[in-house]
Amino acid sequence: MNGSNIADYVRGVEGWLFDGEARLLFELARQASSAGVIVEIGSWKGKSTICLATGSREGPRVKVYAIDPHIGSEEHHGASGRVWTFDEFKANIKRAGVEDEVVPLVKMSTDAARDFNLPVSLLFIDGAHDFDSVKADFEAWFPKVINGGVVAFHDTTGWEGPRRLVRTALFRNPRVEAVGFRWSITYGRKTESASLVARWVKRVKMLVKWVYDPTLNFLTRPGVKRMLRTILGRPASA
């Protein structure tokens, strides 16, 4: 398995990752430090978990703690109101052959944080998307991330909660440097104290993101994607 075929590998698993995001998660996990473990908040049916676990297997070979109560977030509660994703999660993890790399914690992230004492080298946040929930996830887990460790948020373009939070959690946070974004994921590296230059670079990137967010949202609308596919003659998902 490598970064270029991970998107094909997880294509059959239901989830919301763009191909480029699957590749990024794989790479972040592959490059993560072995001084900590990988923590994922919000696993759903395991698509992102498989990307992280296969990346870890090619790199630091550390466990992926996959935290999810498996009852969905508010946005998943349709007419029936009932959601239970754990059985499909387990089946997908097994089918992908990463059972040994993944430790599921069937809890809310803030409950899991209370008795979790391992250092974290990669934290991926993709739980509930309202501002207060994503802020609570970040505040409970950021202190456990080691210096040099990476924090990544999903859905930071179209969803108000994560989009607003990354401004303070990453771009304006003096404990974070090397912020980047790819598709809807925004990520940064924890440090003791970001240098003045690093802080200015982040400010410029925040301005770029201010233009990037609505552009990506527009380009990924189903109608626009279809039109781009016709014009470019290739999938607009990569």
Q: Which residues bind ligand SAM (CB under 6 A)?
A: 15-17, 41-44, 47-48, 67-73, 85, 108-109, 126-128, 133
Report the alpha-carbon distance of residue 52 to residue 61 in Å, rounded. 11
**Of 50 and 194, which has the nearer Cβ to ligand SAM?**
50
Cα 146 to Cα 120, 183, 235, distances in angstroms:
6, 25, 38
CB of 52 to ligand SAM, least distance (A): 9
Q: Of 129, 109, 147, 120, which is closest to residue 184 (Cα–Cα)?
A: 129
Residue 109: what are its φ and ψ, rounded to 5°? Answer: -60, -35
Report the alpha-carbon distance of residue 193 to residue 47 in Å, rounded. 34
Report the alpha-carbon distance of residue 111 to residue 137 in Å, rounded. 10
CB of 203 to ligand SAM, least distance (A): 29
CB of 107 to ligand SAM, least distance (A): 7
**Of 145 and 194, which has the nearer Cβ to ligand SAM?**
145
CB of 237 to ligand SAM, least distance (A): 14
**Of 133 and 173, which has the nearer Cβ to ligand SAM?**
133
**Of 134 and 194, which has the nearer Cβ to ligand SAM?**
134
CB of 70 to ligand SAM, least distance (A): 6
**Of 52 and 194, which has the nearer Cβ to ligand SAM?**
52
**Of 45 and 175, which has the nearer Cβ to ligand SAM?**
45
CB of 26 to ligand SAM, least distance (A): 13
- Select the residue whose beta carbon is closest to ligand SAM and give its number: 15
